[in-house]
Amino acid sequence: MSQRVNGVIARAKGAPVEVATIVVPDPGPGEAVVRIQACGVCHTDLHYREGGINDDFPFLLGHEAAGIVEEVGAGVTDVAPGDFVVLNWRAVCGDCRACRRGRPWYCFATHNAAQKMTLTDGTVLSPALGIGAFVEKTLVHAGQCTKVDPAARPAAVGLLGCGVMAGIGAAINTGGVTRGDSVAVIGCGGVGDGAIAGAALAGATTIIAIDTDERKLEWARRFGATHSIDARSTDVVEAVRALTGGNGADVVVEAVGRPETYRQGFYARDLAGTLVLVGVPTPEMTIELPLLDVFGRGGALKSSWYGDCLPTRDFPMLTELYRQGRLDLDAFVSEEIRLDQVEEAFAKMHTGGVLRSVVLF
């Protein structure tokens, strides 16, 4: 029998979100129903509400979540009812050209649930990033469930489901930060601070936080930034060079997703340094750079989707680092809220007052 639960939907572009009754089908082959315990409010959910991803309204928002597997469909063997899981939106297929080449983090055919959740009138919902977790229970592909240590706090490890993992992975997996490196991170929200935490884990010795908000720079120092730059009053490129012996950073992580900050990142890196774009731009944005500078500076310009993570590898490892006190995931949780406070959490994003609001169920 299908279940009826409460969830947060976006009905139309720019319209305030609302709590509605969601119909969750029984899991079919390869699927799982997960009882959500915590779900972070991510900028990507706001992008969905604003029509910045696509126009497949109405959306069932939420994707950065942890919970308990309640029921599984036929053929599911990797997870079972009672398992504590972090949900992921890159459930690799194992058979596409990227997977066959041994690069599953680039999987081009990631799995989602075949069945659709709906409103009570039968309206089909589009789940954010194939998950839809601002809801008491959600239906996902079983491959989107990654088992982690059940002793971990759901509000903290659930953030590995998107933003924190995106940042850590941008530094370590995509940027290849290693011991002794200099790293600059532009934009110190949840993703940027994840990159700072990742750079610290990897042994970077100079970690430069860049933002226009002093509160965010203070948060960045908590995650391991050794230096900070207020971009409102300082030439970012010159300041990064001054902190790196005149050379620029070995790795720059751009966690804003804007042409002007990307340009800063391009010129703030060392010759043959790496620039990683993990901030999400909007469709109309373009970037123009002198092609001679692209050629002459060498190095690498990379994009990082989900921190190039492999959830089955990275989530349990990072959860263990959290359990050991070596990765402070708790510090990312600014507040715990109710399901009917998601719209308020979106408003707080605009003021920069929170790293992550987390819905608890």
pLDDT digit string, tens, across residues 282-334: 889 999 999 999 999 999 999 999 999 999 999 999 999 999 999 999 999 99
The pLDDT-based confidence of 351 (bands split at 50, 70, 90) is: confident
Closest to 336 measured CA to CA, from 352, 318, 359: 359
pLDDT digits (tens, 9 = 90+) for 221-233: 999 999 999 999 9
Domains of the chain with bracketed CATH: 3-161+328-360 (3.90.180.10), 167-305 (3.40.50.720)
Q: Are strands 3-10 and 18-24 parallel, antiparallel or unpaired?
A: antiparallel
- pLDDT of 114 strictly over 90: yes
pTM beyond 0.85, yes or no? yes
Q: How far apart are the first and last CA of the chain?
A: 22
Give the model confidence (pLDDT) of 140-156 as tens digits. Answer: 999 999 999 999 999 99
pLDDT confidence of residue 181: 98
Q: What is the DSSP letter of 171?
A: I
CB 137 within 8 A of CB 34: yes
Strand runs (DSSP E) across 76-148, as ranges? 84-87, 118-119, 126-127, 137-141, 145-147
Spatial distance between the Cα atoms of 239 and 165, rounded to a whole number of angstroms: 28
> Quick one: pLDDT at residue 148?
98
The Cα-based distances of 67 to 88, 153, 156, 175 in angstroms read 12, 10, 12, 30
- In contact, 83 and 76? CB cutoff 8 Å: no
Let me know: does 6 contact 47? Beta carbons within 8 Å: no
Cα torsion 311, 345, 20, 47 to 10°: value is -60
Helical spans, DSSP H, in 303-353: 311-323, 342-351
* Contact (CB, 8 A) for 68 and 35: yes
